[in-house]
Amino acid sequence: MDLNTIWFILVGVLLTGYAVLDGFDLGTGALILFVKDDTDRRIFLNAIGPVWNGNEVWLVTGGGALFAAFPNVYATVFSGFYDAFMLLLAALIFRAAAIEFRGQYPGARWRAMWDTVFAVASVSGALLIGVAIGNLVWGIPLDPHHEFRGDFFTLLKPYTLLVALTGLALFAMHANLYLLLKTEGALQRRLAGWTKRTIPAYLVLFALMNAATVIARPMVRDALQSRLPLIGAIFIVSVAITFNIVRLVQRARYGLAFISSAGSIVTLMMLFGAAIYPNLVFSWPEPANSLNIVNGASTQPSLKFMFIVAIIGVPIVLAYTASIYYVFRGKVTLTDHSY
Amino acid sequence: MSTVLLSRGQFALTIAFHFIFPPITIGLGLILVFMQGMRLRTGNPLYTSMAHFWTKIFGLIFAIGVATGIPMEFQFGTNWANYARFVGDIFGSPLAIEGVYAFFLESGFLAILLFGWNKVGPRMHFLATCLVALGAHFSAIWIIVANSWMQTPAGYHLARAVKEIASGQQFPMSAELGNAAFTVKELPLPAGYVVQPSDLGDVRAVVDDFAKAILNPSTLDRLTHTIIACWIIGALVVASVSAFWLLKGRHRDTARISLKIGLGVAAAASLLQLISADITATGVARRQPEKLAAMEGLAATRSEAPMGIVGIVRWQRDSTGRITGLRENVLRVPALLSILVSGDFLDPARGAKTVVRGLDDLPSDSFLRVRHPAATDAELAALRPNYWPSVPWVFQSYHLMISIGVFLVAMTLFGILLWKTGRLWESDKRFVRAYLWLLVFSPALAEIATQAGWFTAEVGRQPWIVYHVLRTHDATSVVVHSGQIARSIVLFCLIYVMLGALFVTLFTRIVQKGPPHDEPDAGLPEKFEPLSLKAGRET
């Protein structure tokens, strides 16, 4: 496999890591206003408390890796999506502030305010990420210099909004399952009840989005024809994993259900990757101006050096990230150190 | 306003606000390692309660550091897309390495540090503290590597991308080849190639040697200088809070120990900083002479070059408002700059003979000639100021940094003297109280010095974004309009005002609460005791 393809996968791995991990943080934000009791809200917050900061690092590192491996893509996407991206940054900052400041004063109004900020920031963050991904599948207008020719409203199409909603539903379901693992008693029973809405909501949107993609995007149909066995296999696995969540939740196998929903995100990202490869930014209506793994990339020496860096670093990161999750396994208990 | 100015303004705003916080966590990380180490060695509960308290502060500052740091990772793409395309082959790597090797380490083990008190043993907790401190230092290393490459680029060549078809014929990247299959080739450009604005998109810096790019000529100087600055800030934050408690007569035992730690580290680091400052400035003189001349407001090339202490440097302009030179009004020490640049402290008379180039000759005629081949000598001289940084700014920010730096050395050494003579604890004496109040506000001084230092480094690099290679003017995103940047600046301003206000409120709240396992307020000089503790008021 050539280095450019390896880096296509590696950047994908980092962004998938972000979606799987920060996905349940963003989803927790989307769900928090549905519990009213302060203790319950604190349990939600502290379920993600020790890990949300580290989860966000996957995005930062994904950005850094994109810069190092595909600088043209980094430049085109972030300058092109300027307004959307500034809103995402603002949302991420507000989320951090909400988590950090909420618990500092006991006042009900103070806490309600930060809970709203947390919810709005998380929901808009999830939606903006979805809009970005939707646009990368749909294609954005690029000129021959690979510069984006459009504005914020170019990005808002029915299709990209559908992807955004699907992403939000996915994160909400993902968080719902994560919180089931982290809670007990009455709160856990309530959360189990919510799965009757969050899971079907995602399943419907998931089906709609896949149908819309295949029907409306000729580029994806081409990819489908040339890589049918691969895409077909991922798709079948994806559907199997995703629909299996329903069965696992009914049997109260919450751990497996959460892992399945993580698998659902992973397979979705794989489908996304398989559909756009070898393009990174698909240009539409002029496909010739697309940025792909060759014309968007750094030089071979650079990709090779960074590959060595990643092959040493990423396993270490995975090892200690796993052990940190292991340390904080089990149900949330509120202490002096909690949020 | 132009997009260049707005983008520079936004970058300055976001990086300056962000950089309030990481130096504290870098310095405080080191001190936490010491406190946790002492806790393990001595088992003294005071160290435990100290570690608890400072970990809480660390967590708050770290969270704001992360929140304000995320925009930094992406702004090269949002606002400086041409720059990102031009340098991505080299500059992206340190940022990615920073993520993989520093941010994950820091944020992962911070979870254990903050929330793991009852989940892991004290040894594991100590290890987590070490790894967080290590991660904080790693992140400093990689971001300084990246920034130093902008100051003194090395280990690269410039290359132009072309399309090559099967016959071997080559076309520019913008050529429309229809359905013909082509591969992208990068042709190396000769050394000293002058990048034209029309090249951007096709010409970029390509790595030859990562070791040389990472350890470029200024990396080590600037890394040392920045890390020591971080230690000073972290240590002074510890000293500041301890001094505040001593003044208020609270947590006296904790306050005494942590004041000693803070003052000790700050004094040692300030002294080290003098050496590092000298090495850094000498390096600037050698590698970025325009920056040094701007720092000192030096117009004429001369031996026995003086060093400015305080003063004003203004632009001299002709009747059309064009910059022609400098108007200096500065108190100077004769020949000192020449001696410092030569490094010949043992033989100052010889050192004083060292010639320091002034802005009248910078950049050199040959450098300008390559860029303006058709210009006459007089035109060349008139063009020269276009290649100068903003001398009035650089001069002032540099001197602000130096003045505060020297003051901090004196302040911390005086504190050590008070400590060793035992007077530091006589917190009823007026001058001791005055000194403690000075300590309370000293982190602000150190922060101002650090920010001023960065302004010197970055404004002093102008008009270049990559020194002598790419102009800042050519580096912005062409698709981003000034209205968009203005909106995002307003957005960042609102967010940062909110974050700043909340940070100050919460920080003071945590300090007011103090460490857990509080000791009684015994031993307070009577006149400063709370009324409730005074004799006869017991209820």
Do B360 and B484 lie in a common domain? no
Identify any residues that bridge with A73 across adjacent strands, giving them in sequence order: none
Do B312 and B376 lie in a common domain? yes
The backbone region for B231, taken as left when phi is positive above 0, alpha when psi lies in -120 to 50, beta otherwise, is alpha
- A75-92 residues labelled b (16+ CB within 10 A) or e (exposed): bbbbbbbbbbbbbbbbbb
- The DSSP secondary-structure symbol of B333 reads E
Residues of A in contact with B76 (CB under 8 A): 67, 74-75
Q: In this complex, do B118 and A74 lie within 8 Å of one another by their Cβ atoms?
A: no
Instruction: State both tokens at B104.
Output: 């994950």
Mean pLDDT of chain A: 91
Distance from CA of A37 to the nearest CA of B (A): 23
Q: Is A61 on the interface with B (CB under 8 A)?
A: yes
Q: In this complex, do A309 and B103 lie within 8 Å of one another by their Cβ atoms?
A: no
Per residue, what are the HEC states of B406-419?
HHHHHHHHHHHHHH
pLDDT of the residue at B526: 45
Q: Is A79 on the interface with B (CB under 8 A)?
A: yes
Task: Rounding to the nearest 10 degrees, give the CA dihedral for residues B354, B355, B356, B358.
Answer: 160
Residues in chain A: 339
Round to whole Å and give the CA distance between B428 and B433. Answer: 7
Q: In this complex, do A56 and B100 lie within 8 Å of one another by their Cβ atoms?
A: no
What ipTM does this complex have? 0.90
Taking CA atoms, B190 is separated from B157, B187, B366, in Å, by: 8, 10, 17
Q: In this complex, do A57 and B103 lie within 8 Å of one another by their Cβ atoms?
A: yes
Do B364 and B238 lie in a common domain? no
Do B381 and B495 lie in a common domain? no
Q: Considering the domain boundaries, does residue B539 fall inside one? A: no
pTM value is 0.91
- pLDDT under 70: residue ranges of chain B: 1, 517-539
Distance from CA of A179 to the nearest CA of B (A): 18
Residues of B in contact with A302 (CB under 8 A): 89-90, 93, 206-207
Nearest CA in chain A to B488: A86
Where are the domains positioned within chain A? 3-327
**Which residue of B477, B490, B503 to mutate against A (max A Cβ within 10 Å)?**
B477
- B261-288 residues labelled b (16+ CB within 10 A) or e (exposed): bbbbbbbbbbebbeebbeebbbbbbebb
pLDDT of the residue at B517: 63
Count CB pairs under 8 A between chains A and B. Answer: 223
Round to whole Å and give the CA distance between A170 and A129. Answer: 12
Q: Considering the domain boundaries, does residue B412 fall inside one? A: yes
Do B364 and B429 lie in a common domain? no
Residues of A in contact with B92 (CB under 8 A): 64-69, 71, 74, 298
Residue type, B218: S
Residue type, B525: P
Do B39 and B116 lie in a common domain? yes
Q: Which helix (H) or strand (E) holds B508?
A: helix B482-513
Instruction: State both tokens at B502.
Output: 């909340």
Number of independent structural domains in chain B: 3
- The DSSP secondary-structure symbol of B193 reads P
Of B103, B120, B201, the CB nearest to A145: B201
Round to whole Å and give the CA distance between A251 and A254. Answer: 8
Residues of B in contact with A85 (CB under 8 A): 74, 78
Identify any residues that bridge with B330 across adjacent strands, giving them in sequence order: B311
Q: In this complex, do A78 and B104 lie within 8 Å of one another by their Cβ atoms?
A: no
Q: Is A123 on the interface with B (CB under 8 A)?
A: no
Of A63, A69, A90, the CB nearest to B495: A90
Of B99, B115, B120, the CB nearest to A61: B99
The backbone region for B251, taken as left when phi is positive above 0, alpha when psi lies in -120 to 50, beta otherwise, is left
Distance from CA of B84 to the nearest CA of A (A): 6
pLDDT of the residue at B177: 74
Q: Is A141 on the interface with B (CB under 8 A)?
A: no
Do B395 and B493 lie in a common domain? yes
Do B331 and B234 lie in a common domain? no
DSSP strand E in B31-140: where? none
Q: Is A337 on the interface with B (CB under 8 A)?
A: yes
Instruction: State both tokens at A320.
Output: 């200690």
Structural domain including B396 reads 3-155+209-288+390-528
Tell me phi and psi for residue B404, to 5 degrees.
-65, -40
CA B445 to chain centre: 14
Cβ-Cβ contacts under 8 Å for A222 (sequence gap 6 or more): none
Q: In this complex, do B116 and A327 lie within 8 Å of one another by their Cβ atoms?
A: yes
- The DSSP secondary-structure symbol of B361 reads G
Nearest CA in chain A to B68: A93
Round to whole Å and give the CA distance between A334 and A37. Answer: 14
Q: Which class for B434: exposed (0-12), middle (13-18), buried (19 or more C-beta within 10 A)?
A: exposed
Q: Considering the domain boundaries, does residue B180 fall inside one? A: yes
* Domain-ending residue, one of B335, B369, B387: B387
Q: Considering the domain boundaries, does residue B538 fall inside one? A: no
Bridge-based pairing of strands B156-165 and A279-281 is: unpaired
Do B142 and B98 lie in a common domain? yes
Residues of A in contact with B184 (CB under 8 A): 294-295
pLDDT of the residue at B536: 39
Do B50 and B141 lie in a common domain? yes
pLDDT of the residue at A50: 87
**Which residue of A78, A81, A117, A281 to mutate against B (max B Cβ within 10 Å)?**
A78
pLDDT of the residue at A133: 92
Do B144 and B192 lie in a common domain? no
* Domain-ending residue, one of B346, B371, B387: B387
Task: Rounding to the nearest 10 degrees, give the CA dihedral for residues B464, B304, B221, B155.
Answer: 50
Q: In this complex, do A57 and B107 lie within 8 Å of one another by their Cβ atoms?
A: yes
Q: Is A300 on the interface with B (CB under 8 A)?
A: no
Round to whole Å and give the CA distance between B243 and B419. Answer: 12
Nearest CA in chain A to B114: A337
Per residue, what are the HEC states of chain A?
CCHHHHHHHHHHHHHHHHHHHHHHHHHHHHHHHHCCCHHHHHHHHHHHCCCHHHHHHHHHHHHHHHHHHCHHHHHHHHHHCHHHHHHHHHHHHHHHHHHHHHCCCCCHHHHHHHHHHHHHHHHHHHHHHHHHHHHHHHCECECCCCCECCCHHHHCCHHHHHHHHHHHHHHHHHHHHHHHHHCCHHHHHHHHHHHHHHHHHHHHHHHHHHHHHHHHCHHHHHHHHHCHHHHHHHHHHHHHHHHHHHHHHHCCCHHHHHHHHHHHHHHHHHHHHHHHCCEEECECCCHHHCEECCCCCCCHHHHHHHHHHHHHHHHHHHHHHHHHHHHCCCCCCCCCCCC
Of A62, A83, A328, the CB nearest to B115: A328
Average pLDDT over every residue of A112-116: 93
Contact (Cβ atoms closer than 8 angstroms) between residue B515 and residue B258: no
Contact (Cβ atoms closer than 8 angstroms) between residue B52 and residue B515: yes
